[in-house]
Structure 1
Amino acid sequence: MKRKMVRFIADHKQKLKKLLPKKLLRTAKLAYLKQLMAKYQKEPIHPAEYQKKEAGVNLIGDIRAEIGLGQSMRLLANELELSKIPFGIYNFQLDGNVRRGDHSFEHRMREDYPYRVNLFHVNPQEVGLAYLYLNKDIWRDRYNIAFWLWELEEFPQEYQEAIKFFNEIWTPSEFASSSIRKVTDKPVYTLPYYVTAGKDENCGRADFGLPEDKFLYLIMYDTNSTMARKNPVGALDAYKKAFPVEDEHVGLVIKMNNPKQEDLEVLREQTKGYQNVYLIAEVLDKPKVNSLIAAVDVFVSLHRAEGFGLVMAEAMLLDTVCVATDWSSNTEFMDADSACMVSFRKVEIQETSGNYKKGYRWAEPDVEEAAGYMRRLYEDPAYYDRLAKSGKAKINEVLGAQTIAAMLKERLAPILQAAGDAQADRA
């Protein structure tokens, strides 16, 4: 009965969010996770027998989702393919309010779990549900790894129970890893993404309804990531400070995923009077998203916190210069020689926004400085060209295919080679 109730809650999460207070839903989820952990500790799942299973990785998560988390998992799959480590993918999804049209890894899909390592690409707050949905036999006698993203220096208390389900944790940035290391003695490793940016070569500005004769800035975000953290209004304010409303030589493109009505209303109010603001609210496949990034001149991210900053890395790889907050995970692959790094003040969060609680701290970027960078990129072509060139080189250097594949293989080799298994070397 309990399992049926939890599955009902998971399947109807979006409707329940509208009917029940968020605090009540959070409290219920945390209470149930603690209950699961109590049961887990009575019946511990140890990997004592995992060496007997075939060397390789069961990659588990929402592989088809056309949101950031889905793209993150596909990048992990890319890295596993590059490293030549045997793996299969088990599709696991909870949220029904997501388009799932990316089938690029259908050839890797499986219904079984033949390998000795489970790599879960499941958010901490969903681990309890994953344990119920997937059945404990999937977890038993395997080496269980979680791949998580987190954007702040403090790792939430309600997420910490989920750590106990795993042998170790991976994140794509040292910033996120440091946050988790503060609350656990378990191994936490940083495995960055291999960044690629394949685009539709036949897709240009005209396909997005964008003018050919303007210098274009792009803001892009998913409303599931919360407006407060992504801070598109800050980027919009910087644009308005950089250029007067009558300037016809520049334009601002705002690309949104999963826009809520209140988000649209805020942006429409903020852009009132500006004729050269272009709103794209439809979901695009990944090649078209990359084509959009490549079609503009500058990508602007005045985020207050980032768990990695994938779109910034993709923009740099596509020769699109970035204006970005100089704080959190993105600083691990960009600097003042490869992007416009915007100063910030560390501030307390004044009002809880999604997973980002009142009292935690994040960055408040300097909008005036960002405006200055935006203006300079338009007025100084030599400066623009230098940053575009060095930005692409930076990504190829620190997030290139062979670099990341080698890191992944090095971390997994001791596990896959357990009990004298040498498959990792032969791959």
Structure 2
Amino acid sequence: MKQKMVRFIADHKQKLKKLLPKKLLRATKLAYLKRLMAKYQKEPIHPAEYQKKEAGVNLIGDIRAEIGLGQSMRLLANELELSEIPFGIYNFQLDGNVRRGDHSFEHRMREDYPYRVNLFHVNPQEVGLAYLYLNKEIWRDRYNIAFWLWELEEFPQEYQEAIKFFDEIWTPSEFASSSIRKVTDKPVYTLPYYVTAGKDENCGRADFGLPEDKFLYLIMYDTNSTMARKNPVGALDAYKKAFPVEDEHVGLVIKMNNPKQEDLEVLREQTKGYQNVYLIAEVLDKPKVNSLIAAVDVFVSLHRAEGFGLVMAEAMLLDTVCVATDWSSNTEFMDADSACMVSFQKVEIQETSGNYKKGCRWAEPDVEEAAGYMRRLYEDPAYYDRLAKNGKAKINEVLGAQTITALLKERLAPILQAAGDAQADRA
């Protein structure tokens, strides 16, 4: 009965919000899910049943979502395809204000789960719902792996119950892996992305209404994401410190997803007097986004924390120089020879922002230093060209297909052969 109630709340959330307080709905759902997760016990894998299944991977998650989470899953799917490991995709999605128009892996979609390994690309806070919605047989006699991203050194206590559903955890960065290792004895492996950046070759500045004769800087963010972590205001402040209002040789491109009227009003106030600010507010497909990144000169990310930093890696691959905070996961594929690395102070979070709790620590980038880098990239073409060349080479070296698929095959090979043994070793 309780399961039906939680499912009803999840399926009819938008309608119920109009009738009942949002806090009551959230509290009811979370209370049940916490009890469900607390009672869960991972059953041992029966080797005979395991061997009956095909050697391969069931990839489970929101593969069509046109947000970072969906792109992350598509990168995993691409790595599996390149590695020639048999796999299928089961599209698991929850509701939300998310466009789901990416059908690039429709040829891999299926409704059954024929393979021995489940690779869940589901956020920790959604694992309880995944267990509630998915057939319980899916979880049994398979080796269950979670693929998670996390941005801080402290892994939240409320996420730790989700670990018990899995035999091991994967993340795309050693920074994220080290955070999770602090709270579990289960194996935690770092499997970075093989980064690609396909673009529309016929799409240039004119298609975005951008001038051809200016040196352009790009800030990108989604207003549904955590603004405090992404820190677009810091990047905007750095641009304003680097260039006076009257400088007509440069321009700032702001790519926003899902802006509300109040967001636009704040932006207009912050850029008051600047004529060369170009706002792009529509949702674009991934090739168009990459075309925009390639069309500008510099991508600026003064983030306070990153679980990987995919857009920075894509920019480097597209010959667009990055100005980025020198902290968290992005430092694993960029350095002072391949990007402008902005120093920082580690500070306590003063107010809880989404999943990032008050009292935890993250980076506060040096805006003055970032402004200096932005100015130098414009004034020193040789410096710019060196970083652009080194950045692309760095991504191809660290996150290239051969390197990443080798890591993937190396980790999956022993599991696909004998997950019972692997699980016994873990226990």
Same fold (TM over 0.5): yes
The answer to whether the 8 Å contact 1:233/1:267 transfers is: no
C-alpha distance in structure 1 between counterparts of 2:19 and 2:418, whole Å: 50
The answer to whether the 8 Å contact 1:219/1:299 transfers is: yes
- Deviating 4+ runs (over 3 angstroms): 11-30, 42-49, 419-427
CA distance 1:397–1:309, change in 2 (3 Å): same
Cα deviations across residues 4-49 of structure 1 (Å, max 9, x unaligned)?
A: 3222332355677798888766655543332112442397777773
Cα deviations across residues 215-269 of structure 1 (Å, max 9, x unaligned)?
A: 0000011223211000000000000000001111100011112223333332222
Q: Which runs of 5+ in 2 are unaligned?
A: none
The answer to whether the 8 Å contact 2:58/2:88 transfers is: yes
Cα deviations across residues 295-354 of structure 1 (Å, max 9, x unaligned)?
A: 000000000000000000000000000000000000000000000000000001111111
The answer to whether the 8 Å contact 1:33/1:161 transfers is: no
CA distance 1:419–1:67, change in 2 (3 Å): closer
C-alpha distance in structure 1 between counterparts of 2:54 and 2:423, whole Å: 9
Cα deviations across residues 157-186 of structure 1 (Å, max 9, x unaligned)?
A: 110000110000000000000110111111
Which shows bigger deviation, 274-283 or 46-55? 46-55
C-alpha distance in structure 2 between counterparts of 1:422 and 1:3, whole Å: 32
The answer to whether the 8 Å contact 2:172/2:193 transfers is: yes
How far has the Cα of 1:281 moved from its partner? 1.0
CA distance 1:423–1:302, change in 2 (3 Å): closer
CA distance 1:47–1:14, change in 2 (3 Å): farther
C-alpha distance in structure 2 between counterparts of 1:268 and 1:14, whole Å: 31
How far has the Cα of 1:3 moved from its partner? 2.4
C-alpha distance in structure 1 between counterparts of 2:157 and 2:425, whole Å: 40
Q: Between Structure 1 and Structure 2, how many residues are aligned?
A: 427
CA distance 1:209–1:298, change in 2 (3 Å): same
Q: Which runs of 5+ in 1 are unaligned?
A: none
Which shows bigger deviation, 2-11 or 118-127? 2-11
CA distance 1:394–1:22, change in 2 (3 Å): farther
1:102 aligns with 2:102: yes
The answer to whether the 8 Å contact 1:303/1:325 transfers is: yes
CA distance 1:104–1:282, change in 2 (3 Å): same
CA distance 1:259–1:80, change in 2 (3 Å): same
1:297 aligns with 2:297: yes
C-alpha distance in structure 2 between counterparts of 1:240 and 1:364, whole Å: 18
The answer to whether the 8 Å contact 1:304/1:364 transfers is: yes
Which shows bigger deviation, 332-341 or 16-25? 16-25
The answer to whether the 8 Å contact 2:231/2:302 transfers is: yes
How far has the Cα of 1:56 moved from its partner? 0.2
The answer to whether the 8 Å contact 1:416/1:422 transfers is: no
CA distance 1:48–1:351, change in 2 (3 Å): farther
How far has the Cα of 1:274 moved from its partner? 1.1
CA distance 1:4–1:30, change in 2 (3 Å): closer
The answer to whether the 8 Å contact 1:319/1:389 transfers is: yes
The answer to whether the 8 Å contact 2:60/2:121 transfers is: yes
How far has the Cα of 1:200 moved from its partner? 0.1
The answer to whether the 8 Å contact 1:218/1:255 transfers is: yes
Among all aligned residue pairs of Structure 1 and Structure 2, give the percentage whose two residues are the same amino acid. 97
How far has the Cα of 1:361 moved from its partner? 0.6
The answer to whether the 8 Å contact 2:46/2:420 transfers is: no
CA distance 1:210–1:61, change in 2 (3 Å): same
Q: What secondary structure sits across from 2:354 in the alignment?
A: coil
CA distance 1:373–1:47, change in 2 (3 Å): farther
Which shows bigger deviation, 412-421 or 254-263? 412-421
Cα deviations across residues 87-138 of structure 1 (Å, max 9, x unaligned)?
A: 0000010033111110000000000000010000000000000001112111
CA distance 1:261–1:338, change in 2 (3 Å): same
The TM-score with structure 2 as length reference comes to 0.94
